[in-house]
Amino acid sequence: MTAQIIDGKAIAEQVRAEWKERADALKARGITPGMAVIIVGDDPASKVYVANKVKACAQLGLYSIHVELPADTSEAGLLAEVEKLNNDPAIHGILVQLPLPKHLDSHKVIEAINPDKDVDGFHEKNVGALVTGETPFPSCTPYGVMVMLEKTGIAIEGKHAVVVGRSNIVGKPMALLLLHKNATVTICTSKTVDLAKHTRDADILVAAVGRANFIKGDMVKPGAVVIDVGINRNAEGKLCGDVDFASVKEVAGYLTPVPGGVGPMTITMLVANTVRAAERLSVQA
Ligand code: NDP
């Protein structure tokens, strides 16, 4: 079997067009959805991510700003910036680019964001809403995976979904979103005994591990849907996922590539969450 490759770029374009219509509807009412990204320090990877986020906003005609703060910014200084954006009516979505320099408490900073503007979905109020039912702001990467599955016409209900990884930004929200769609969900971690036994039982396998080419073809059930969240560099410095594309594509039914799979969806859902934040805040105003 050769897997059908899920084209994340094409799906992202389609989804962006849908959200552009919603953004345009707001603009027709005099509301331009606005997003602010705060970046502390000058980590090169973070700078690329921020530039891509700002570019995606511009593509949909959203207003966006990025606030660049020096690496030695104090916690009080950062919290003051967050508060300023909380009170800025032109800004509907706020995100703080992670990781923050070590002297800053990222939990405290995220909790300072107005939950109605928390487009990353990391605030405890939104995480709690995800656990109990539906959050307005599902965290962008797992949200992007769900939209990808939906647009590809992949049924989730009754399927066994195995998520490898339990981070707060990918693994855990991913498992919850799949559970809400009535999948039977298994979460695997670095402590899981006999990982391959679990992954081989997955109808839908999501890899969010952060280890290059970690999931091999013999760890996958024939015909399974394999979603590769990982972004890694291999020994040659080339971008690759957590899934060994060459061996898995011979076994899986569907497979996402890296690059061009989950990555474009993540940024798209960030823009979507910003438009939704503007819609919600416009009703509250
Ligand atoms: P974390 O490092 O926070 O989490 C990794 C998870 O993988 C942990 O839960 C860890 O388990 C688990 N793990 C590590 N080794 C093993 C193993 N041998 N067997 C089973 N589980 C293991 O990473 P993130 O969740 O933040 O990111 C995961 C990957 O996704 C990274 O490559 C990252 O770059 C990428 N990413 C991609 C995005 C995109 O837009 N495409 C967005 C965000 C992340 P334990 O908890 O026990 O340590």
The DSSP secondary structure of 29-89, one letter per residue, reads TT---EEEEEEES--HHHHHHHHHHHHHHHHTT-EEEEEEE-TT--HHHHHHHHHHHHT-T
Q: Which range, of 42-51, 96-105, 171-180, averages the lowest pLDDT?
A: 42-51
**Whole-number pLDDT of residue 147:** 98
How many other C-beta atoms are found inside a 10 Å radius of the C-beta of residue 232? 16
Report the C-alpha gap between 63 and 171 in whole angstroms.
31
**Whole-number pLDDT of residue 144:** 98
Whether residue 99 is preceded by a cis peptide bond, meaning omega within 30 degrees of 0, is yes
Whether residue 21 is predicted with pLDDT greater than 90 in this model: the reply is: yes
Q: What's the 146 CA to ligand 1 centre distance in angstroms?
A: 18
Q: Whose CA is nearest to atom 42 of ligand 1?
A: 141
**Whole-number pLDDT of residue 134:** 86
Mean pLDDT, residues 275-279 taken together: 98
The count of residues in the chain is 285
Does any ligand 1 atom lie closer than 6 A to the CB of residue 167? Answer: yes
pTM of the complete model beyond 0.85: yes
Report the C-alpha gap between 127 and 100 in whole angstroms.
20
**Whole-number pLDDT of residue 116:** 98
Average pLDDT, whole number, for the chain?
96
Mean pLDDT, residues 188-204 taken together: 98
Q: What is the 3-state secondary structure (H, E, C) of 5-31?
A: ECCHHHHHHHHHHHHHHHHHHHHHCCC
Does any ligand 1 atom lie closer than 6 A to the CB of residue 168? Answer: no
Domains plus CATH for the chain? 30-115 (3.40.50.10860), 140-263 (3.40.50.720)
Residue type, 149: L
Report the C-alpha gap between 264 and 197 in whole angstroms.
31
Report the C-alpha gap between 148 and 261 in whole angstroms.
9
DSSP one-letter code for 243: B
Number of alpha carbons in the 13 Å side-chain half-sphere of residue 89: 5
Active-site residue, selected from the candidate residues 7, 118, 120, 203: 120
**Whole-number pLDDT of residue 103:** 97
Spatial CB neighbours of 96, under 8 Å, sequence gap ≥ 6: 37, 38, 40, 78, 82, 106, 109, 110, 113, 120
Ligand 1 atom nearest residue 208's Cα: 28
Ligand 1 atom nearest residue 211's Cα: 32
Report the C-alpha gap between 132 and 159 in whole angstroms.
21
Does any ligand 1 atom lie closer than 6 A to the CB of residue 238? Answer: no
% residues pLDDT > 70 (the chain):
100
Whether residue 89 is predicted with pLDDT greater than 80 in this model: the reply is: yes
Sequence-ordered alpha helix ranges (H) in 158-256: 171-180, 195-199, 245-248
**Whole-number pLDDT of residue 114:** 98
What band does 133 get if pLDDT is binned at 50, 70 and 90?
A: confident
**Whole-number pLDDT of residue 48:** 87
Residue 234 buriedness (CB in 10 A; 0-12 / 13-18 / 19+) = exposed
**Whole-number pLDDT of residue 65:** 94
- Higher pLDDT residue, 134 or 213? 213
**Whole-number pLDDT of residue 49:** 87
Tokens of 229: 């969240």
**Whole-number pLDDT of residue 269:** 97
SS3 state of residue 276? helix
**Whole-number pLDDT of residue 10:** 98
Q: Which range, of 45-59, 88-102, 263-277, averages the lowest pLDDT?
A: 45-59
Q: Whose CA is nearest to atom 15 of ligand 1?
A: 190
Q: Which range, of 27-36, 202-211, 230-239, averages the lowest pLDDT?
A: 230-239
Taking only the tens place, the pLDDT of each residue in 253-273 is 999 999 999 999 999 999 999
Q: What's the 227 CA to ligand 1 centre distance in angstroms?
A: 13
Report the C-alpha gap between 39 and 259 in whole angstroms.
24
